[in-house]
Structure 1
């Protein structure tokens, strides 16, 4: 399966990958060497922490390389009055009588606590391509459903905000 990412997602991943390989990895290797000199490795907390940091970095490098390699680049093709990627959307949740603003983003940049909802999430899928004024039924993965009304759409561009998961 391909990861559907934007060109900006790929660029952000490549930048992080380069930083991790060229800057962070040499620092971590030096830290492992430095802490190894402290003596008995079985009781050397600093050495264990340095090795763990090195392993986390290697794991993240493998993840980023795999994501980039398997990526399928997508573009936003939404009309001027439709919800597309990176647009900010004001929603009215009827059951809760609440208004919330979300931004529909790619899966690797979702952060629900910051209002960034993945285009693959039930809410993201339901509103993508819809227009202001539409009443949309959102079906969750567990079979439950709720209704939102799209109050407004603010067209946005992919500005590179948000961290890559």
Structure 2
């Protein structure tokens, strides 16, 4: 590789995005920006290694390869342009789902949460709404199952996936209500702390950029929508933190530092 071919990660990704349509570029950008922040904006592309890529995939908390598709596509492009010695996209792999022990740790994060009466009612309302959707989802599965060609039954697969997400969210809300401590109406408000299901608005102190993350279970991760797992390094760092707190996340590109502006439950 010659010196003229050496580009920073930011420069290479910018070139990659110019090869995409405007619509596709806007879809790819959020995931690639996260990759840049984690790996290091000024890191040379030729300094990327399989270990770095695998570490990023683990840290991102992505639960499916599809969530990492933008990064995989960029790495394939980089190899095609001669920016890397091999196609590092082959090392893009989704994080393995947590087993029962991991699930127990995730639910433990919602124990003993303090909620205002209004927040408690909001959780109750969402739970009842989702419970009401069970019949609709079950009917969709019944209709899809009527097609006996199970080998290529996309509607049935989609219905099953939707049911899985629905039941996971119902369990989370039930856990929240079961262990929540509800403030009396006359009690002074307390600082809201991040937990599973929270939206966390932060400022990246290195670039003074405001970002919003949604803390979800591993099965709900969606990097394009800012949904990160509570089991990922960044998600873990945000847990039980509140507005004004500063958190640090260690990554190969350096330490990421965020200031929490507010937490929304």
| 1:45 maps onto 2:134 in alignment | no
Q: Which runs of 5+ in 2 are unaligned?
A: 1-110, 202-210, 213-237, 250-254
Distance 1:34 1:121, change over 3 A: same
Counterpart of 1:66 in structure 2 is 175
Q: How does 1:92-103 map to 2 (within 5 A)?
A: none
Deviation at 1:120, TM superposition (A): 3.9
Cα RMSD (Å):
3.6
The one of 194, 200, 203 aligned to 1:111: 200
Counterpart of 1:97 in structure 2 is none
Distance 1:26 1:163, change over 3 A: farther
Counterpart of 2:78 in structure 1 is none
How many residues end up aligned between the 2 structures? 110
| 1:4 and 1:73 in contact (8 A); partners too | yes
Distance 1:66 1:57, change over 3 A: same
Distance 1:33 1:109, change over 3 A: same
TM-score by length of 1: 0.53
| 1:105 and 1:119 in contact (8 A); partners too | no
Structure 2 distance, partners of 1:16, 1:53, is 16
Higher strand share: 1
Cα distance per residue 1:111-133 (max 9 Å; x no partner):
3146xxx89426x2x5xxxxxxx
Counterpart of 1:140 in 2: which secondary structure?
strand
| 2:193 and 2:239 in contact (8 A); partners too | yes
Structure 1 distance, partners of 2:256, 2:115, is 28
TM-score by length of 2: 0.34
Structure 1 distance, partners of 2:118, 2:193, is 10
Q: How does 1:1-165 map to 2 (within 5 A)?
A: 1-22=111-132, 24-74=133-183, 77=188, 105-107=192-194, 108-112=197-201, 113=211, 120-121=240-241, 124=243, 126=244, 139-141=246-248, 164=265
Structure 1 distance, partners of 2:257, 2:147, is 58
Deviation at 1:45, TM superposition (A): 0.9
